[in-house]
Amino acid sequence: MNGIQYVVDEKGRKVAVQIDLKKYGSLWEDFWDGLISESRHKEKTVPYEEYRASRLKRTSKRGELLARNHVVSPEGTRSS
C-alpha cells in the first residue's frame, strides 16, 4: 500500500508500521483518538453536575484574583 510501510523483525514478523502523515494524517488522528479513548475506558467518571460545580468554582476564584489586581472604572475600563 502506497504511504504505508511495515517494519519487520529478524524473523520477518511485522512489529511496527510507518505511515505517511502527509497522505494519511487525518486517518491517523482518528486512529489515535480511538486508542486514547480505549486506554481511558476504565477511568473513573465524574458526573457532569460535579464537573460543572468545580469548573465554576475555579472560574470564580480566577475572577476574584483579577478583580483584586485591577481597578475597574464605572465605564468598564481597567487600569492597574
Kindly report, residue by residue over 28-62, the tens digit of the pLDDT: 899 999 999 999 989 999 899 998 888 888 776 65
Contacts of 4 (CB under 8 A, 6+ apart): 17, 18, 19, 20, 24
pLDDT attached to residue 41: 87
The set of residues, in sequence order, having a beta carbon less than 8 Å from that of 8 and lying 6+ positions away, is: 14, 15
With 0.85 as the threshold, say if the pTM is over it.
Answer: no
pLDDT confidence of residue 59: 74
What is the pLDDT, as a whole number, of residue 38? 93
Half-sphere exposure at residue 72, Cβ-oriented, CA atoms within 13 angstroms: 9
The length of the chain is 80
